[in-house]
Amino acid sequence: MAILLMIVSSSFSQGQRIPDKFYVVIGAFANPRNAAEYTERVKRDNLDAKSRLIPERKLNYVYILETAEREKAIELAVKLQAESTYSGTWVYSNLLTDSLKAVKIEPLKDVKNELVQEDGLTSDEKTNMLADGSKPFIFKIRAIDTGKEVAADVDIYDADIIKGRKLVSYRGNDVVNVKPINKSGNLVVACDVFGFQKVQLPINFNDPKFEDAVSLNDGNVVVNFDLVRLKKGDKVIMYNVYFFNHAAIMRPESRYEVNDLLEMLREKPSYKIRIHGHTNGNDNGMIITIGDSKDYYALSKDNKEGKGSAMKLSEERARIIQSYLVSNGIDINRMELKAWGGKKPIYDKDHSLAQANVRVEIEILED
């Protein structure tokens, strides 16, 4: 059984090489709440699972080992592939950086490594994967209004399981080899991109039906996802927007999804939205707000500190997003704010996943 080991270019600081670190990864999720829930479930198997957002990919990776020992990471990944339910385990080198490349590794053997681009496959690898029952797919993801490609991933669910469990993600708009996940072939393929309505398509892997959404092109199964922008009354959570503790200031990784919102409002000048702010619990406490430097994504010396209610904090967190949009040319009259404090939690405030209660939601008032 071969696995893919992800390698990145080494970083250098003052002429010294930074040692590689290797991560045994068991899942990748666009939705951080799904990543958090999966992490908690994995912990019940006595595995030290952690989740980390990689902003450039807009995916939350769940990993169970971080080590400087390459062989140790490979050995664990191979064992999990062969002996556990985590058969999709793989290994990344320097997961927290970018410019990833893949190295095909024959586990537990001393073989010559062959560098290929991430998700690119050697001809031998492609032949082996197809021989193992995989099929080449292209998940074409387009915005109906503009006809443009949308950079996104699709999630594969096992349709034979009640409330089908998400098993793997694949990159859109590229040829990827999809592995079978059950005997019946029944899958649900979902594409959930911020700013668009979620699309779910039932597909039978064993016998894809070449109808409206699915076709065959040059040996590839092509699945078309035609994305529709949100409509009046739709409300979506900004899953990848995070705030510093006690602050109405966003963490740096939030800029990607906030810019998606900005793009949506520019593309749809008729949109009017309501920005909903939520906190975890209703306790009063410190509130840190933006200073004169107007740095929306970092704490700075000119930040203002005060005290207030959870309701006030949730309002300020909604306002900071409004302020950023206004600074980028969006008319303030197209936006309303709604503060909830901790009145509408997703989980109990003491739950292990309670951090998901700290969130911003976008409601479409007019389209």
Residue 205 pLDDT exceeds 60: yes
At 16 the pLDDT is: 52
**Which amino acid, 125?**
E
Domains for the chain: give ranges and CATH numbers. Answer: 3-118 (3.30.70.1070), 130-227 (2.60.40.1120), 235-366 (3.30.1330.60)
At 163 the pLDDT is: 67
Contacts with 245 (C-beta within 8 Å, 6 or more apart), sequence order: none
List, for residues 82-120, the tens digit of each pLDDT value: 777 776 677 888 776 654 444 344 444 332 333 333 334
Q: How far apart are CA 346 and CA 235, in angstroms?
A: 15
The arithmetic mean of pLDDT across residues 347-360, rounded, is 89
Dihedral sign, CA of 47, 52, 56, 59? positive
Which of 4-18, 105-119, 216-230, 270-284 has the lowest average pLDDT? 105-119
The arithmetic mean of pLDDT across residues 174-180, rounded, is 84
- Strands lying side by side in the sheet with 214-217: 175-178, 135-143, 220-227, 214-217
List, for residues 162-174, the tens digit of each pLDDT value: 666 666 778 788 8
pLDDT averaged over the chain? Answer: 82
Q: What is the DSSP letter of 342?
A: T
Q: How far apart are CA 11 and CA 63, in angstroms?
A: 22
Beta bridge partners of 12: 17
Percentage of the chain beyond pLDDT 90 is 43
Which of 203-212, 236-245, 256-265, 355-364 has the lowest average pLDDT? 203-212
CA torsion, ordered 163, 55, 201, 157, to nearest 10 deg = -30
At 353 the pLDDT is: 82
> How many CB atoms within 10 Å of residue 73?
25
At 79 the pLDDT is: 84
Q: Tell me whether strands 135-143 and 175-178 are parallel, antiparallel or unpaired.
A: antiparallel
**Which amino acid, 278?**
H
Cα distances from 280 to residues 130, 174, 249, in angstroms, run 48, 40, 16
Nearest Cα residue to 133 out of 222, 205, 219: 205
Cα distances from 309 to residues 166, 321, 342, in angstroms, run 38, 19, 10
List, for residues 45-71, the tens digit of each pLDDT value: 788 998 888 776 677 888 999 988 888
Alpha-helical regions (H) of the chain: 32-43, 70-83, 123-131, 255-267, 310-327
Please classify residue 117 by burial: count the beta carbons closer than 10 Å to its beta carbon, then call 0-12 exposed, 13-18 middle and 19+ buried: exposed
List, for residues 219-260, the tens digit of each pLDDT value: 899 999 999 999 999 999 998 899 999 999 999 889 989 999
CA atoms within 13 Å, Cβ hemisphere of 7: 16
Direct distance between the N- and C-terminal alpha carbons of the chain, in angstroms, rounded to an integer: 51
> How many CB atoms within 10 Å of residue 89?
21
Which of 18-22, 173-177, 360-364 has the lowest average pLDDT? 18-22
Please classify residue 171 by burial: count the beta carbons closer than 10 Å to its beta carbon, then call 0-12 exposed, 13-18 middle and 19+ buried: middle
